[in-house]
Structure 1
Amino acid sequence: MEVELRHLRAFVAVATRGSVTAASRDLLITQPALSRTIQQLEAAVGTRLLERGPQGVEPTEAGGELLGRLRGVLRDLDAALAAAGGHAGLRIGFQWALPDPWASDLLTAFETATGARATLLRRDDIVAVLHSGEVDAALVRGEVHASGISGTVLFEEDRLAAVSTDSELAARGELDWAELPAHPVVVNTVSGATSPHLWPPGNQPSQVVECGSYDEWLAIIAAGRGIGSTTLSAARAHTHARVTYLPLRDAPRVALRLLWPTRRTSDPLLRRFGECARSMRGAHGSDASGISHGGTGFLGSVATNDP
């Protein structure tokens, strides 16, 4: 039996959802028909690809390897079919607030120049969704080191301190970056751009309060459990009645990076998005946005994150 596209899509759906029931709803076919399709694929490749585990249906070792390969293949196929039908587009992942109006102007410029549609999708685990093909590229702050992911710095942003309005620090006009380690420092370990390693040895925070999202980070600071640092654009987008933002002297700036799967470096639509992102970097002056600019053209100074 020849393997058909329906077999591959069925396998990816079940392996991703971890449930034949959920996958059958997504694919709009009956559960028995979906199970037969999976069995046909397993017969064709000569090995079991899925098995029932404690958390539901899980890929076998062979199935896990196949799943990793198929996600990228099917994503590229869907993109090619969309482009052929005149419905090309890009899905751009991000973790938390993007500079405004820079981000909205970027999408408008890209869509005007290409006729393609750009969609923003908020995701915490950017590396995972880039590998799975859920997004085509991503705008992230801080450094990301992952095999198969390439990136380039678009610009840097100023950093502010975030303190509870009940803190005595809230009455200060500004803080010094070197002062922060004397207080508990709240760190978003999943998508944040601050870590204890940003301070020199001997002056790193003695107490770090870890969290897993920007909302958690903001709530912890509002409760007076610690202080943190964030970008100027994020502070503007995420105000809180019990959080005060203060300028930070001598603080390291935060880089905004464009990331994409290395295998898609030659994708013309992705390259055009990168070109638009770089051309837009000077559209809003640093006096208004806290942005500084530098670097060379897109893919002219690509910093690959492959080991």
Structure 2
Amino acid sequence: MIITALLSMFMSNTATTATMFAVVIPVLGALPAGRPRAGLALSIPVAANVGGIGTPVGTPPNAIALGALAEQGYHISFGSWMVMAIPLMLVILFGAWLLIAVMFIPAGLGIELEMKANWHTDRKAVTFYVIAACTILLWMTEALHGMSANVVGFLAVVALLVTKVMGGEDLGKLSWPVLWLVAGGIALGDGVGKTGLDAWILGLFDWNSMPAVVVIIVMGVLGLAMSNVISHSAASNLLIPLAMGLATGIDGMDPVTIAVILALACSLGMSLPISTPPNAIAYATGEVMMADMAKVGIIVGVVGTALLVLVMPTVWSALGLL
């Protein structure tokens, strides 16, 4: 789960899950049939979903939140996002591991495996390792050099193309629909604000009579609930612009807080195979029952969202991030 979460911080959750299952399939075959296999199969999508919240590039809801904040003149650096999200990510990841171990792994169960590593050391591989390391380092040191995460990401692509590690055919294999979905969501959020639709929808409820903390809780729960039945990106696209409009009209409500909370809450929806592609990949193995996925997903999502809305704003304020 640790490896999956680390990869998911910098790769798409779907690609991470597919990569990990390619490695884990032999391990699944070595485990006793039934709950041990289900537990291992479930651990990968859970770790991928949780790991994605750790960086701005980990999952689309993070980018959607940053785009919405940028439209309102707020900027969160790559490093600041990591400081805000990684503590929560680690707590949820540990809790999810403990839950899966208790629910699925019998006491005393152990296996011995011998797997040969396939560490490439050719020119393209070494070049990629260097560019990837430099990209991550530049992302994490934005405060020192001033280049935004977008510029750093673009430079990494240029470097990969110039060194011929990637070619035009590789660009064609990118998940362009996902990229357009994120871009469309940012445009949708801008349109919601400029047309006054956010004010009209928010005017249907007397939000001003609620304390800011109650509004944050309601939005977090709504983000979690919606992201279980529609895609995380769609839930973020719908809710973040509305919440940003709401934040400007309520005393004590910080737009950065509500946007980040919604982005993270939307990434914690993982109770159904349709909730997120990593869940669908795990379910397709045939080792996971929907009831087990629902139990784990609901517990991880509810506990994670409770920590997110009740504890993290105080932590962020104490660290001077808000």
Q: Could you state the TM-score of these two structures normalised by the residue count of structure 2?
A: 0.22
The structure that has the greater radius of gyration is 1
| Bigger helix fraction | 2
**Larger relative contact order (C-alpha < 8 A, sep ≥ 6)?**
2
Q: TM-score, normalised by structure 1?
A: 0.23
Higher strand share: 1
